[in-house]
Structure 1
């Protein structure tokens, strides 16, 4: 083999190596493009300029008409076809409640529920009327050992509302909105409603102090609304005041959809095509006024379902004109504990340890 041939072979090998590098780089770029959902980010629509999540109707007017008992021409699109398998008479003999606590619980979280019953679910706050119920789904096996244990728990405590949908992470919106339906239909007289997961620390005392301070401040600054029960001289044109007495508060986030294909929180453009979420309150714990609970539930009947419940409530709030209020005393993470550190805490996440919840709650509620 002469030098010329050797040179040609070396050049060919070098070209093959270069082409191989190009091929590998192209594969990496394609993988990144696909894995990180680059196309979804590129082709998402502007939230600020073009948010039109269905239904694209004037939901505020619909809610106003429903609250005034008027007939509406728009058919609801989001009435969940599930039944309450149990009920409770906790509200049947009470004209007024200060606070109703809705605890979203998993079926097998018996220890969580017992810890709550020993702490913030005691319903014994002096001078305040507070009630608590747990909301569960089903496992699809009516004769399972798990269901038998829940049946025994319900018979003993009578504080569980079970609903016939499959209890699963991606069904949290169903659990949330069925809970809204229950309180709307069976317990609509409470001043405020706290929705919380069963692994939260809650201070009912701090929560009630917070909402009552806001009430006093809003009453001081109150101005007549242009929408308030307007009656025209020609007849009976009325509109409900949807802006008065509104409160939807907790830890507020402003963020964008996760498009990574490996993420459990991935959202495709088919599900949600905008580049940002509306402002939303993290689902761990949030409080609503009586008016906001009713407005949000009625509005949800006309807003397309979305599988993440905190995002869904943010969308509903956006559609009906309710502004989420950020309260820094709600913690979506686990706030480091000390007795002084928790003096003003309303809610803190991460209390799956039952003994820890009981210890912290008792220390915070011991009268010295």
Structure 2
């Protein structure tokens, strides 16, 4: 009897292990198909490079190597945003071109730049829709006319082109807002405590720092070599086994002089699709290490909302939509309360 029970347990264990392994295999196959599909799309674009609905996509030399330098054009721009102004802070928000709702949410919460006591400028950085669409482009242009905060260049708006999008922001600051003191690059699913960032990290009453770049610093990591990961970087694109220290991509801040330095050095080195790691590579080439941030001020992960806690942080990840609106309403309502 005991022997039968043991045999039955063994069979159940074998079944569970096989089920788990099958599930892992299915997961990796799906990931692989996604990457291969993206590679096929890029290859097709490389062969044709023809305008689609009057929108032209650039040629890719390697499916996972964003082409750079490349004469990308500003399709939507705000060249006079900083005219006759000296913004203390420029906020560059990264998001997808079709995500109108996220932009509205940010404008109505922490992105309402009119509520701050120093000059703050905000722009949303976008590319072209992956499936070229005149309707999407027309809506984007109307939004730009209404709010005056959209900046767009003619590269595809994909995860693998986040580096191009960030470099577009560096180019925009360099060419159209060189009078700024500091720049914040942030994803559109973040909570940003602009007041705390200004007065407890950057300090407007002090001289503007130079060679300053800070956020959640990531060290001792390297490229993913398996195609199963969306962070996959092949050897032929980046042969080193480790990345230099870099600031985690969801949100980092830097002195405006760094925009030109990073933009310039990016013209001379191979660009990789891991945007935050590439910023670290640029810093390494410039021999400017990231600055250690104040403790617990920048958070690359989600932390449970608490009004008193959030008054003493600059960023928290994974807050967007109605959750961000509710958080912001409570945050403002309790702003004058003691903690």
Q: Same fold (TM over 0.5)?
A: yes
Q: 1:107 aligns with which of 92, 97, 113?
A: 97
Residues 214-225 of structure 1 aligned to structure 2 (within 5 Å): 216=206
The yes-or-no answer on 1:265 pairing with 2:231 is: yes
How far, CA to CA, are the matches of 1:140 and 1:329 in structure 2? Answer: 35
CA shift digits 1:340-360 (9 cap, x unpaired): 2212110111123x1211222
Matched position secondary structure for 2:239: coil
Q: Is the 8 A contact 2:171 2:260 kept in 1?
A: no
How far, CA to CA, are the matches of 2:328 and 2:181 in structure 1? Answer: 24
Q: 1:247 aligns with which of 191, 200, 212?
A: 212
Residue 3 of structure 2 corresponds to which residue in structure 1?
none
Residues 72-87 of structure 1 aligned to structure 2 (within 5 Å): 78-87=68-77
How far, CA to CA, are the matches of 1:127 and 1:329 in structure 2? Answer: 21
Residue 244 of structure 2 corresponds to which residue in structure 1?
278
What is the root-mean-square deviation in Å for CA atoms of aligned residues?
2.5
How far, CA to CA, are the matches of 1:196 and 1:296 in structure 2? Answer: 17
How far, CA to CA, are the matches of 1:117 and 1:130 in structure 2? Answer: 13
Matched position secondary structure for 1:363: helix
Matched position secondary structure for 2:88: strand
Q: Is the 8 A contact 2:128 2:155 kept in 1?
A: yes
CA shift at 1:171, angstroms? 0.7
Residue 54 of structure 2 corresponds to which residue in structure 1?
none
Residue 144 of structure 1 corresponds to which residue in structure 2?
134
Residue 49 of structure 2 corresponds to which residue in structure 1?
none
Q: Note closer, same or farther for the CA distance 1:143–1:271 as it changes in structure 2 (3 Å cut).
A: closer
Q: 1:317 aligns with which of 271, 283, 286?
A: 283
The higher-RCO structure (CA 8 Å, 6+ apart) is: 1
Residue 207 of structure 1 corresponds to which residue in structure 2?
197
The yes-or-no answer on 1:131 pairing with 2:97 is: no
In the alignment of these two chains, the number of paired residues is 268
Q: Which has the larger radius of gyration?
A: 1
CA shift at 1:259, angstroms? 2.0
- Answer with 293-302 or 282-291: which moved more: 293-302
How far, CA to CA, are the matches of 2:130 and 2:211 in structure 1? Answer: 38
The yes-or-no answer on 1:334 pairing with 2:302 is: yes
Q: Is the 8 A contact 1:80 1:174 kept in 2?
A: no
How far, CA to CA, are the matches of 1:350 and 1:342 in structure 2? Answer: 14
Residue 347 of structure 1 corresponds to which residue in structure 2?
315
Residue 181 of structure 2 corresponds to which residue in structure 1?
191
Residue 227 of structure 1 corresponds to which residue in structure 2?
none
Q: Is the 8 A contact 1:121 1:131 kept in 2?
A: no
Q: Is the 8 A contact 2:76 2:141 kept in 1?
A: no
CA shift digits 1:129-159 (9 cap, x unpaired): 0010111111266653322322221222121
Matched position secondary structure for 1:97: coil
Superposed structure 1 runs of 4+ greater than 4 Å apart: 140-143, 213-216
Q: Is the 8 A contact 2:81 2:176 kept in 1?
A: no
Matched position secondary structure for 1:341: helix
Unpaired segments ≥5 residues, structure 1: 1-34, 36-76, 220-243
How far, CA to CA, are the matches of 1:201 and 1:214 in structure 2? Answer: 21
TM-score w.r.t. length of structure 2: 0.73
How far, CA to CA, are the matches of 1:90 and 1:213 in structure 2? Answer: 23
How far, CA to CA, are the matches of 1:299 and 1:249 in structure 2? Answer: 19
